Structure 1
């Protein structure tokens, strides 16, 4: 979306109207500071937690990852003659 003159005029008209209807920005000093957000339960981890419960901090490091490859395609257009078309 390009910002043009029409958008600026709409914004300039909306800002004073928003303050007339009581929509105001919240001051940061009116809010209590929290180190986390949650939607459903209480905050599970404190502000100084080291790792999540499901993480093993003593897990072995290193190793290798192998990815399987059954087939591939290099074209998503089914009507072309070059390349392998997608499913």
Structure 2
């Protein structure tokens, strides 16, 4: 088991995983696809697919970590999940 952090927001929540932040890209009834927040800036292809307590990690980041401030992680909601990697 590993951990992700969920940052509450008024419009769209964000996920912090491995010191990088993700936003919702596509949402369906049972799954949600998350895209790296650096997608437009650096063409980062890293994505997460969440369903229940499982997180499927796809692709690697092509930039340094986007979350530098530890206060963001401290104020986020912690959640234990199973990580599946498919690079």
Q: From the CA coordinates, give the structure whose radius of gyration is larger.
A: 1
TM-score of the two chains, using structure 2 as the length reference:
0.16
Q: Which has the higher contact order (CA 8 A, sep 6+)?
A: 2
| TM-score, normalised by the number of residues in structure 1 | 0.16
Looking at secondary structure, tell me which structure has more strand per residue: 2
